[in-house]
Amino acid sequence: MKIVSLTLARGGSKGVPRKNLVLLQGRPLIHYVIEASKASRVDQTWVSTEDKEIAAVSLSLGASVINRPDHLATDTSKCEESLLHFAENVDFDIIVFIQTTSPLVTSEDINKGIDLLQTGKYDSVFSVTEEHWVPKWTQNMTPINWDHFKRPRRQEMETTFIENGAFYITTKNFLLKHKNRYGGNIGYVEIPLSRSFQVDSLEELELIGKLLC
């Protein structure tokens, strides 16, 4: 089976301008996911972008590039639209959608996800991080799913997971049929909290830079 990875990297990011090329420990952000993909069992590493500079950097790092139409690279564009554009133009059996904003993801994480999908038990797989229960409140100070008169102990609460956004894996057939990155029988790969952070702000960029030291 042909396994490919895809990273979506548009040029017009807002939270961190030119985010995909911003230097993190002297290397562009996109470098980290491309290197993780190349070191994994993925056969081809792809970047979808409308930006010429991102395309040039991606090619220099050993990735293949598919031109992302401008109408799929706006602030309101959905990832699924670009995933479907890729699936309609590139030959593969399994796709690993890796988000550029997760530079701490490793090839081992990706391989675990691929192995899980290839067991045949799951239609899709994605990365998660265990969430330790803490009391949450709405803005009008209403407890969310707990009773403040009967405050539970953390150990009594059901284990839950956060979708950390590092990667999503499915087959081409599933993606084209359901037009979604995941669904059906879903498996997960757990990533520790220390490697679960995403770069969506300057503060997170600074934090991840320290974690990479």
CA distances from 212 to 104, 119, 202 (A): 8, 33, 15
- pLDDT score for 151: 86
- pLDDT score for 46: 98
Instruction: Write out the catalytic residue numbers.
Output: 151
- The residue whose two tokens read 């150990």 is 155
- pLDDT score for 169: 98
One-letter amino acid identity for 55? A
Helices then strands, counting H and E runs in the chain, come out as 6, 9
- pLDDT score for 201: 85
Calpha distance 85→79 (Å, rounded): 10
CB 98 within 8 A of CB 7: yes
pLDDT in tens, the chain (213 residues): 999 999 999 997 777 889 999 999 999 999 999 999 999 999 999 999 999 999 999 999 999 999 999 999 988 889 999 999 999 999 999 999 999 999 999 999 999 999 999 999 999 999 999 988 888 899 999 998 888 888 887 777 788 999 999 999 999 999 999 999 999 999 999 999 999 998 888 888 888 888 887
Q: What is the CATH number of domain 3-211?
A: 3.90.550.10
- Enumerate the β-bridge partners of residue 154: none
Domain ranges of the chain: 3-211
Per-residue pLDDT of 21-72, as tens digits, reads 999 999 999 999 999 999 999 999 999 999 999 999 999 999 999 999 999 9
Full DSSP string of 154-191: GGGSPPEEEEEEEEEEEEHHHHHHH-SSS-SSEEEEE-
